[in-house]
Amino acid sequence: MKKYLLFALTLCQFSCNDGDLQIETVDFDSIDTVQFCETVVISSENLLFKINGDEALIMELPSNLLKNEATTTEIVSEVPSATRITYRIFSDNVSADYFCDAVPALTPTVIEEIAAQDGQIFITTVAGEGDTFVHTIRLSGISFVAENGSRITNLSINEFGTVTTSL
């Protein structure tokens, strides 16, 4: 009987483990406000971001992706080749000043930064009041893969939000 117990204990010593499997939830659908540093301009690259406490979802749109005209079909942009999306986790709550100040603050610090490896964004534009245009941005198939190869699978970021441009 002692042999079987010793064998079972030895087997437990060499059994497989799941490593440091860490399941994360990326939820930005509950955050309605899309933030940016200056006025969104169609002729230049735009940095848009959503903040959820100590997390941020950052989107870098290439110039001329947004159009000051109503669209009948969605404009599609591939991630990461045309549009870049990054998910950051900070050491503390972050504010828009972190992204907009000429010299970034020393705190909070970035704990983890994960760039999207795949996906698409869809943009629909409608005429707003006066000379404005409202752009609705949706995300599809966004895939984040951390440096250790783990994939963040529990994503709730389908609706990025809306931004307004003017003539």
Nearest to 154 by CA among 28, 50, 19: 28
What token pair was written down for 143? 């895939």
Residue 158: what pLDDT? Answer: 82
Give me the half-sphere count of Cα atoms (radius 13 Å) on the Cβ side of residue 121: 27
Distance (Å, rounded) from C-alpha 105 to C-alpha 86?
19
Domain boundaries, the chain: 21-166
Tell me what the pLDDT averaged over the chain comes to.
84
Please write the tens of the pLDDT for every residue from 70-116: 999 999 999 999 999 999 999 999 999 999 998 878 899 999 999 99
Residue 17: what pLDDT? Answer: 45
Counting as low any pLDDT under 50, the low residues of the chain are 4-5, 9, 11-12, 16-21, 23
Q: What DSSP letter does each residue of 84-95 carry, written as one string?
A: EEEEEEESS---
Cβ distance 68 to 167 under 8 Å? yes
pTM over 0.85: no
What token pair was written down for 77? 């942009």
Altogether, the residues listed in the chain come to a count of 167
